[in-house]
Amino acid sequence: MTITISGTGISRGIAIGRAQRLDDGELEIYEAAIPKELIEDEVARFRRAVHTARQQLKAIRNSIPEATSADITDFIDTHLLMMEDSMLTAAPIERIRHEHCCAEWALKSQRDELAQVFDEMDDPYLRTRKDDIDHVVTRIQRILIGEKAAGAADEKHTLEGTIVLAHDLNPAEAALLQHQGIAGFVTESGGPLSHTAILARSLGMPAIVGTHITPQHIRDGDTVILDGSRGLLLADIDEDTLKDYHRQQRQQKKHQVELKRLKNEPAVTADNIPVNLFANVELLEDIRAARQSGADGIGLFRTEFLFMNRNDIPDEEEQLKHYLALIRSMRGLPVIIRTLDLGADKECGASEKRNCPNPALGLRAIRLCLNNIELFRPQLRAILRASAKGPVQMMIPMLSSSSELDRVIELIEEVKQQLQDDGLAFDRNLPVGGMIEVPAAALSASLFARKLDFLSIGTNDLIQYALAIDRTDDSVTYLYDPLHPGVLKLVRMVIDACQQHLTPVAMCGEMAGDPRYTRLLLGMGLRQFSVPPTSLFEVKDAIRRCDTRLLSVHIDKILASDDPQQIHAAVDDLNTLH
């Protein structure tokens, strides 16, 4: 009888192969006192471990073919840079010297302190960047205690064609395993927004996280099926199931080849309705991927990355430089720049630490900016000045009330007057939009649609807040459901309000980038999507195959249902319409 193990599918596709478990369980680190006369020896041992970790990462990077996407090598470069950061190299040495503890414990203590900082961040995406610290720390810890890292170059067993099972994988390990020819991977921990998940999607490698696999379920050498689309791992497979999955796999490979032909094709439905298909980017390096995928523009540029991993705050000129580079790279295509969406506390080096018991509901995004005008004003000036050089739009995150919006508009007008007084150019008609991420904002969508030039539905936070779950917590991610009837009603309210006020509306969350929901969203009236560059071809294909004239009856039934199972089944049926 086929065994089915469920997890969170983070990268679609089917992989079939023999299972190979990597011994990468969580490390147990214990405190040990170091005699005063041996302290410098312990410091030297820590430095050797850091040096060895760097050499390992450089070896992994050098083993990846030059033709490999920059997205992949960037992950490894990021970890190499982190190993140069004093927070992970000098600070543990200070702990060894002052606390007379072993190197492993000093590094663990430093990791725990840094992890707390990330845990207090509000943005789920940024919060998952704690994974990068864990990956770097774990690599050093394994060297200190004499263990090998997963996917080490001297791995004796052959990994080609295998489906790797592991407790967790960092991006460097996943990149190396892909280079060694694995068919896919399954981990016990991890979330859909981790760098490893992003990497898996970039590589097109099927993957599942959060499965909580135990050894008795799967043995090394067992033939298993990894269904990344459904988040399933199958073992003890009967012949008919195996034959069916081989058929599906052949169809998917053929489909992927066909999708790349869509780059220069317009995003138009089968009944000739044009759709705007934009890309979400966070780094200037992502722009290349957006252009290669034929994006109509940038629908979401996350500016918080200019403020991260540094001890100071970028000034107006530095921010302007980045925005101008973005505009030049997009060569006349529209660019929507989102203002700072960081949480409370200390992401910006100059901020003072605050006690925030629930940061997701605390001083974040526009609340933070309005609470710290000196942080916000330079960004407003930089975005407005950039608007003189190209088709820029400004987007405000996490709006929740009219008074909040009124204050933002007042500030923008003040900054415009200052720029005019300073003799600096800007677009006087710069479109200003807002993100609908809070249920209260969705319920008040008519207000925001009336006062703003455009809206964008941020489904990641909207779903999180509507369902009261932390989607980075793998113990509750099973509750994260974009098709929850309450979520669909909120999305429909926003779209209807925008149609009533003739205000453009887009969606820029993960839901927009999942082609399983494209027909549903088109049927609900959405005509602008902003998606990760890696999802753009699949969403465009779904748009071009959709005849919106056939959707209305099905959409009404879906939105009238209160049964999540019925909704999921109805959406599956919707995707089979021709």
Alpha helices in 468-535 (DSSP H): 485-500, 518-523
Query: Residue 56 corresponds to which tokens in the numbers above?
Result: 């390992």
Q: Are 45 and 240 a contacting pair, CB within 8 Å? A: no
List b or e across 472-481, with b for residues whose CB sees 16 or more CB atoms inside 10 angstroms.
Answer: bebeebeebb
168 annotated ligand-binding residue:
no
Q: Which residues pair with 208 in a beta bridge?
A: 9, 186
Residue among 509, 19, 457 nearest 225 (CA): 19
| Known active-site residue 508 | yes
Q: Which helix (H) or strand (E) holds 378?
A: helix 373-386
Q: Which helix (H) or strand (E) holds 152?
A: none
Alpha helices in 204-333 (DSSP H): 239-259, 286-292, 316-330
Query: Residue 72 corresponds to which tokens in the numbers above?
Result: 């992949």
**Sign, CA torsion 551/555/556/561:** positive
**Catalytic option among 195, 348, 369, 546:** 195
d(CA 280, CA 498): 22
**Catalytic option among 102, 348, 369, 508:** 508
| Known active-site residue 369 | no
Alpha carbon 116 to chain centroid, angstroms: 20
460 annotated ligand-binding residue:
yes
Q: Are 564 and 312 a contacting pair, CB within 8 Å? A: no
42 annotated ligand-binding residue:
no
3-state secondary structure 307-336: CCCCCCCCCHHHHHHHHHHHHHHHCCCCEE
Q: Are 432 and 451 a contacting pair, CB within 8 Å? A: no
d(CA 81, CA 478): 34
Longest dimension (CA), the chain: 80
Q: Which helix (H) or strand (E) holds 543?
A: helix 536-544
Query: Residue 420 corresponds to which tokens in the numbers above?
Result: 């005019």
Residue 16: how many CA atoms within 13 Å on its side-chain side?
13
Calculate ∠ Cα 194-396-477, nearest 5°.
30
437 annotated ligand-binding residue:
yes
385 annotated ligand-binding residue:
no
461 annotated ligand-binding residue:
yes
- DSSP, collapsed to helix, strand or coil, labels residue 410 as helix
Query: Residue 164 corresponds to which tokens in the numbers above?
Result: 């790797």
**From the annotation, which residues make up the binding site?**
302, 338, 437, 460-461, 471
Catalytic center residues: 195, 508
**From the annotation, which residues make up the binding site for phosphoenolpyruvate?**
302, 338, 460-461, 471
**From the annotation, which residues make up the binding site for Mg(2+)?**
437, 461
